């Protein structure tokens, strides 16, 4: 439909990490409702999480441009607010000139990141948020017109390579400069027309299910990991009887105590401190291994919409009890799609408890750009030789997948034995931590 002069249409912004689309999960307003600046109007699914999106405009909702379950491309209309329907004066944006400059760019069609964050409080359904840190937006001279750039990553790429965005020919929706446009400018190649999309002919006896935005993100991440990382896998069976007994002895009638995963996480953190090359990423452009000072422990979680890997941020500073609380908090929210963007992007190493699926082993895929992932299978009673006698023990299989570019088998084995020895002798290991 055509909006009246002055009506304001909010385009779906890039919610981070080069997003190209998002699925509308749930509208929180309806056409005809009155909204205020910074009011959350819709929940969308993208990059493995459900994100709340606030409106930068105040007034009466004229049009919701997508139904629940529909996918919206970045830069396309999300909601239109009718002009002249504001019920109170618009608030002064927080953040001073930087915030105002950002709003001007959004109104010009950019949609860099979500706007309205951190504005003055309102009544009703408005949610208070801390201001997001964004790049300063520098307005172009009026004679050259505004540059429409959605992704901060695209803007940074152009800056790093000395590309003048005003000279880049955009191919995105409504003249938006895309990552591909900047890459072509860097290479000096002309813009390519998008290829036509052919409809697949239906075949008797088969059913086609379009990939959701979530599954596309997962597919891209896993494909990149497998294509770029020369991974190697090693594994060992571990006697977890002593750890099992320690966990049981810590339980009381009123306090269940830390879970097994919290103890294992503590031992993993200790192992990473001994082998920091595994808590790292590989900078292929500069041929450097980048080790992290902090350990943000990623946890593979099977959520409602698929596998996500939120991180316990600052795991290296926590006790076993603190790790237990943090793990339960992070995984509970991740299972219902409420992990934050920070948690989903922060992981420096991943711990995978696939034993919860009642399987013993797995050759996992490394969570790029990390360089390793450690997994544990189910703990079951097995015959085990102790002091020359065959006795039942609680055994788990530990598998470790690592990027062979950053270390060799000796380092990987050293890390594994550090964790395995701590599991088999937990009391002495904790005493040393």
User: Tokens 């544990």 appear where?
Assistant: 376
Are 241 and 396 spatial neighbours (Cβ–Cβ below 8 Å)? Answer: no
Name the strand (E) or helix (H) holding 316.
Answer: none
Active-site hit among 26, 166, 329, 404: 404
Positive or negative, the Cα torsion across 293, 299, 303, 306? Answer: positive
Closest Cα partner for 427 from 216, 246, 180, 249?
Answer: 246
User: In sequence order, what DSSP letters do the residues of 93-153 get, joined into one string?
Assistant: PTTHHHHHHHHHHHHTT---S--STTPPP-STTB---PPPP-PPPPPPPTTT----B--HH
Handedness of CA 324, 329, 331, 335 (dihedral sign): positive
Contact 182, 168 (CB under 8 A): yes
Q: Are 94 and 119 contacting, i.e. CB atoms less than 8 angstroms apart? A: yes
The 10 Å CB-count burial string (b at 16+, else e) for 100-125 is ebbbebbbebbbbbbbbbebeebeee
Place of tokens 């205020």: 36
Question: Which residues are 77's β-sheet partners?
Answer: 11
Angle between helices 152-160 and 179-187 (to 10 degrees): 10
Q: Is 166 a catalytic residue?
A: no
Active site residues: 404
């Amino acid at each position: 439909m055509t909006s009246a002069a002055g009506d304001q249409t909010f385009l779906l912004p890039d919610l981070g990490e080069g997003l190209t689309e998002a699925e509308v999960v749930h509208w929180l307003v309806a056409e005809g409702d009155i909204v205020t600046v910074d009011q959350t109007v819709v929940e969308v699914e993208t990059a493995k999480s459900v994100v709340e999106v606030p409106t930068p405009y105040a007034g009466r909702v004229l049009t919701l441009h997508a139904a629940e379950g529909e996918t919206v491309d970045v830069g396309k209309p999300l909601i239109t607010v009718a002009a002249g329907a504001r019920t109170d004066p618009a608030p002064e944006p927080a953040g001073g000139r930087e915030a105002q400059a950002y709003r001007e760019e959004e109104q010009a069609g950019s949609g860099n990141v979500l706007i309205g964050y951190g504005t003055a409080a309102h009544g009703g359904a408005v949610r208070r948020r801390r201001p997001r840190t964004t790049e300063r937006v520098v307005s172009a001279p009026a004679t050259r017109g505004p540059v429409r750039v959605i992704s901060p990553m695209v803007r940074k790429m152009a800056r790093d390579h000395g590309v003048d965005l005003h000279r880049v020919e955009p191919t995105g929706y409504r003249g938006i400069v895309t990552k591909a446009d900047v890459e072509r400018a860097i290479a000096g190649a002309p813009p390519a027309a998008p290829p036509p999309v052919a409809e697949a002919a239906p075949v008797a006896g088969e059913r086609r299910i379009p990939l959701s935005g979530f599954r596309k993100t997962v597919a891209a991440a896993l494909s990149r990991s497998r294509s770029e990382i020369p991974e190697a896998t090693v594994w060992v069976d571990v006697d977890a009887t002593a750890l099992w007994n320690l966990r049981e002895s810590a339980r009381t009638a009123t306090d269940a105590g830390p879970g097994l995963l919290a103890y294992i996480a503590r031992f993993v953190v200790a192992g990473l401190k001994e082998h920091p090359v595994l808590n790292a990423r590989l900078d292929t452009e500069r041929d450097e291994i980048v080790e992290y000072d902090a350990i943000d422990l990623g946890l593979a979680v099977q959520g409602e919409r698929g596998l996500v890997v939120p991180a316990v941020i600052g795991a290296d500073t926590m006790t076993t009890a603190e790790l237990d609380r943090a793990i339960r908090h992070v995984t509970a929210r991740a299972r219902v799609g409420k992990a934050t963007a920070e948690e989903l992007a922060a992981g420096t190493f991943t711990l995978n408890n696939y034993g919860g699926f009642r399987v013993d082993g797995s050759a996992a895929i490394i969570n790029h750009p990390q360089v390793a992932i450690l997994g544990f299978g189910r703990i079951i009673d097995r015959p085990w030789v102790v002091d020359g006698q065959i006795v039942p023990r609680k055994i788990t299989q530990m598998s470790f997948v690592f990027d062979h570019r950053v270390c060799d088998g000796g380092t990987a084995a050293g890390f594994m034995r550090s964790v395995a020895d701590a599991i088999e002798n937990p009391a002495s290991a904790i005493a040393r931590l």
